[in-house]
Structure 1
Amino acid sequence: MITEEIILLLISFPFIIGTFLPLSGGKHWLIRGFDFVRIQSAVILSLTFVLSFLLISDASILVRFIQFALLLSLVTQIKIISPYIILKREKHEHNPDDSEKLTIISVNVLQSNDCYHKLTAMVKDLQPDILLTIESNKAWEEAMEEIEVDYQYNKKVPKENTYGMHFYTKLKAENIKVHYFLTDERPTIEAHLKDRDGKEFVFWGVHPPPPSPTEEVTSKKKDGELLSIAKLIRKSETPSLVIGDFNSVCWSNVSTLFAKTSDLKDARKRRGFFSTFPVKPFFMRFPIDLLYHSEEIKIYHMNTLPEIGSDHLPLYSEFSVNSSVTEKPKPLKEEEKEEIEELIEESEVAEKTED
């Protein structure tokens, strides 16, 4: 019996602790990492909870306590990811009053990936109105030249540091800017576009750094970059669409704060997880290639596309722009404003400290 209790404790402990650690606000990658695997953790917690009753007949007080902790953790995990669980699929149909439907593909190509033909074939087949490639270097830029005949407007920011970015569109581009928020090593693309009905909107392509043992020890830089972008969007009176590799799951605190700060909607809510990374093993995937949009932009459909040799799946979406002017953004609470400024300041300090 003691052996069963020890085994139960050893299996349960990391998943129980991992449920609540990210809620502490800690920025270290070890803490943030638990936020990424909430779907997988929920499955393991539920299995462990059920098996603890089936396999341990004479439960001690310790076992009952672990079972209670498992249940509490499972409920917490489900509550956090529940906005993305589909109980009833909503219909998002294109109405006669809606503007023409547009399409977009965003994909982190993985800089070292040389399966260029997979992406070019996909683009030629689907003919998206907008294409964003992330981690694209000079080799990728040259490989994508064969699609440029269909894309009059583009912005190319090739880099060899896994933060290159290329933007292609069939829509009229009034202006395309490249921002560097903390360092000139990581670009963010801002494109002012017009749809075929003449309605204006702003496209943002993002790729902040991930918290990981091989890149950034904490999530400070990522959080600061995302919130700096969100503040710019909040000031805009034009509808915005933001897409890219956020290196943050959609249910994380900073993703939620990004949506509030920018006054944008998370396109995944009530649609599903659409997990994009890693491609293999598939059961470890989580959603970090995200899409946010203004109320005036209507999302009809989104899904992941077949793999192209990268560690990310491409993200595809169909949308329309139904107004060129946004409503006044919802006011932020004082504590939210303070948190935003604090996170941006922390990111600036982190960048300077590294330099």
Structure 2
Amino acid sequence: MKEGILLAATGLLVVLTCLPLWKNPAWWVRDLDFPRLQLCVLALVLLFAQALLLSYSEPLQIFISALSVGCLAYQAWWIIPYTRLWHREVKSADTSQYKPRIRVMAANVLTPNRQADKLKALVREHRPDVLVTLETDHWWETQLEELTDQYPYSIRCPLDNLYGMHVWSRLALENAETRFLVEDDVPSMHANVRLNDQLAIRMHFLHPAPPSPTENDESTERDVELLVVAKSVQDDEDTIPIIVTGDLNDVAWSANTRLFRKISGLLDPRVGRCMVNSFHAQHWFLRWPLDHLFHSHHFQLVRIQRLPKFGSDHFPVLVELQYDPAPEQQSLQGEAQDDREAAKKLGEEGVSESEVPEPDKH
């Protein structure tokens, strides 16, 4: 009996581990990219139960544990880069030097949430230079209007469909545009952020729709929005300071996020440091990194921090970067097949990187 239960549980673990290998974009396949940490825990629990309950006197018992070890190793392979066991992709900044810095805060507010005062208190405490708020409707825009004294520059797109977006900035926003790159009701924002007279940063703010039974049946729309931005910065990330940030509705270790990094050449400051699990703020056992900031080699990390919850299902995330170009910082290295895969996905949706604004080239 106990052997049968352990075999069934191990079989379920194997199915949950192997399904994402199938490159089907269906939501119920792609969403299994998310809980790799949780599946590691499940594999460890199973191994512990097997060690207690099995005598390992039969080949089947050894096989059950071997499957669990294999699943654990495979799931851990994806998430270990987001721990201190991995080398850091982005250097820690020498803060004793006087060099330009930018502090960016991303906050998915959860449209029905009405605890705007808590978010405004966090903004006043941490004083980001650029604040991007997601899922903001007209009510949220009214609540955050008082920030304009400190954040005189803004891009606004209030919507009632959970995809409203606002960017609030102390720094001048040049050539700011709102675009609907893939879906007609899902905006993205693009601007040149003027750090000083000599330095401006191209910034892209994204919030693609996730694959889910209540949103899109497939991950295609989300994947394409990330890849079209990756293609648009591909040839510029060596020469132009670039930041891409927002709630990408994808985890840092997914195959598509890795493809985004390979195509764009942008760096992830979490690699070698921490996961920064920003969702779900209400359920500690269901957390993964959905809110991201990627940047070109022109920056080194001052700090990355998950801020306290404020009533949303997301924690806000704060990242501070110092402008200190280090070309030796390298992202994941792409191959020709990665470009082909990205081109195929963009072609199937009829989306071109030429549709992504390049505000620094106006």
TM-score by length of 2: 0.90
Q: Secondary structure at the match of 1:266?
A: coil
- Report how far residue 200 of structure 1 moved: 1.6
Distance 1:304 1:331 in 2: 28
Distance 2:333 2:2 in 1: 53
Distance 1:151 1:305 in 2: 20
- Report how far residue 246 of structure 1 moved: 0.8
1:312 aligns with 2:291: no
Correspondence for 1:281: 283
- Report how far residue 321 of structure 1 moved: 2.3
TM-score by length of 1: 0.91
Distance 2:83 2:13 in 1: 20
Q: Does structure 2 conserve the Cα–Cα contact (< 8 Å) formed by 1:155 and 1:167?
A: yes
Correspondence for 1:111: 111
User: Which residue among 265, 268, 271 is the counterpart of 1:269?
Assistant: 271
Q: CA RMSD in A?
A: 2.4
Distance 1:65 1:56 in 2: 11
Correspondence for 1:178: 178
Q: Secondary structure at the match of 1:212?
A: coil
- Report how far residue 88 of structure 1 moved: 7.9
Distance 2:259 2:326 in 1: 25
Correspondence for 1:167: 167
Q: Does structure 2 conserve the Cα–Cα contact (< 8 Å) formed by 1:187 and 1:206?
A: yes
> For structure 1, which segment, 57-66 or 114-123, has the greater mean C-alpha deviation from structure 2 after superposition?
57-66
Distance 1:106 1:344 in 2: 27
Structure 1 residues 18-29: aligned runs within 5 Å: 18-29=16-27
Correspondence for 2:207: 207
Say how many residue pairs are matched: 347
> For structure 1, which segment, 82-91 or 198-207, has the greater mean C-alpha deviation from structure 2 after superposition?
82-91
Q: Does structure 1 conserve the Cα–Cα contact (< 8 Å) formed by 2:26 and 2:219?
A: yes
TM-superposition CA deviations, 1:95-138 (whole Å, max 9, x none): 45562332111011111111111111111221110100011111
- Report how far residue 15 of structure 1 moved: 1.8
Structure 1 residues 83-122: aligned runs within 5 Å: 83-87=81-85, 92-97=92-97, 99-122=99-122
Distance 2:221 2:287 in 1: 23
- Report how far residue 253 of structure 1 moved: 0.7
Query: Partner amino acid for 2:304?
Result: M
- Report how far residue 331 of structure 1 moved: 8.3
Distance 1:215 1:202 in 2: 30
Q: Does structure 1 conserve the Cα–Cα contact (< 8 Å) formed by 2:297 and 2:327?
A: no
Distance 2:333 2:3 in 1: 50
Q: Does structure 2 conserve the Cα–Cα contact (< 8 Å) formed by 1:100 and 1:197?
A: no
Q: Does structure 2 conserve the Cα–Cα contact (< 8 Å) formed by 1:107 and 1:313?
A: yes
Q: Does structure 1 conserve the Cα–Cα contact (< 8 Å) formed by 2:157 and 2:166?
A: yes
| Identical positions, percent | 32
- Report how far residue 197 of structure 1 moved: 6.1
Correspondence for 2:339: 337
